[in-house]
Amino acid sequence: MKGKIINSIDRTLKILQLFSLQKPEWGVSEISKELNLYKSCIHNTLYTLLNRGFVNQNPNNGKYRLSIKFFELGSVVLENIDLRKIVHPYLEQLSQEFNETVHLGILSEGEVISIEQERSNQSLQPQIYIGKRAPLHCTGVGKSLLAFLETERIEQVIREKGLKKFTDNTITDADQLKKELQQIRKQGYAIDNMEHEPGVRCIAVPIKDYQSKVIASLSLSGPEFRINKEKIPLIKEKVIECCRLISQAMGYHCLDNKIETESRL
């Protein structure tokens, strides 16, 4: 459907997209510099959002932050994603069995975003929370999503997002990453071997829908001394089985009712 972009709404959305977990507060001057917009336009936009209750203003520094209204709207979206409802019992089951953090991630604008999780009761556990964004190239969930994209899209992600180094184990060479993605497609799972967070190991498996399309990935994460080489084979099989059942519930079927381990690309 074709239409006309409304500049004022487009400007408002650009302003809203600046707010993040890393920088939750923005001032008018900061936004003006970041987006190259007139301060008067920004002030009027923020005043309208403030009047409608979508932003709050910090009385100490005059900066703005998103209000609870966005959480309310986000909750409506999340509650209507059937995938979360289907996956949650499996998250609980895996988390209880291994007493480790399990989470569900989806692809969003060249990154992975967590949309559901079940935390362990261990004092030492990964810093994963709903709404957190992470790179694709160095996380288990991210690599298992990236591996099943079309070649052109993989190239685009690498080009636009880069291969930032987070730990000594982070893959920062494009050719090496592509080889690993090929292996992930063959074996049907990905391992984050302390590539994003020091000392954290993760095993992730893709989830497919009725069109055999990868729509999400589920991972189990924990400290490397608990998710050691001896335990990886068992954890891997359990995560694969859970994702097979979830994929079936999403309408995915193949001849032997197992998640395909060969690439469709």
**Structural domains of the chain in order of their starting residue, each with its CATH number:** 25-80 (1.10.10.10), 81-249 (3.30.450.40)
Q: Which residues does residue 106 pair with via DSSP β-bridges, in sequence order? A: 113
pLDDT for residue 227: 93
pLDDT of residue 259 exceeding 60: no
Average pLDDT along the chain: 88
Percent of the chain past pLDDT 90, that is, above it, reads 70
89-112 burial code (b ≥16 CB/10 A, e <16): ebbeebbeebebbbbbbbbeebbb
Other C-beta atoms closer than 10 Å to the C-beta of 56 total 16
The contacts of residue 49 (CB under 8 Å, 6+ apart) are: 12, 55, 64
- In this prediction the pTM is 0.71
* Res 109 pLDDT > 90: no
Average pLDDT over residues 151-172: 95
pLDDT of residue 211: 83
- pLDDT at residue 30 is higher than 60: yes
What's the farthest any 2 CA atoms get from each other in the chain? 63
CB 242 within 8 A of CB 218: yes
CB 190 within 8 A of CB 204: yes
pLDDT at position 257 is 41
